[in-house]
Amino acid sequence: MKSGDYVVIKSNVHDSSMPDDRRDGIVLEVFGPDYKNPDQATVLFCNGSILKFHKSQLSILKSKESFYL
């Protein structure tokens, strides 16, 4: 996972700041205690919210590189 990836939040995860009707967003930043293998990401949603998630709570819908193909 990397910045620019288009992701969806898994259905068992909830945050009141997420839009009610959409669970998808763009990864802004990936980070974690081990810089070689980051395990967290901030995601920007269509309502302007930016939230932090563990990578296990996200599924990549479209990778950044595939946008240019």
Per-residue pLDDT reduced to its tens digit, 18-66? 999 999 999 999 999 888 899 999 999 999 999 999 999 999 999 977 7
Domain total for the chain?
A: 1
- H or E segment and range at residue 62: strand 58-62
- Full domain range(s) for residue 35: 6-62
Q: Is the pLDDT of residue 69 over 90?
A: no
- The answer to whether residue 35 sits within a structural domain is yes
Give the whole-angstrom CA distance, residue 10 versus residue 66.
Answer: 21
**Which residues contact residue 26 at a Cβ distance below 8 angstroms, ignoring those fewer than 6 apart?**
4, 5, 6, 7, 43, 44
- The answer to whether residue 57 sits within a structural domain is yes
- The answer to whether residue 20 sits within a structural domain is yes
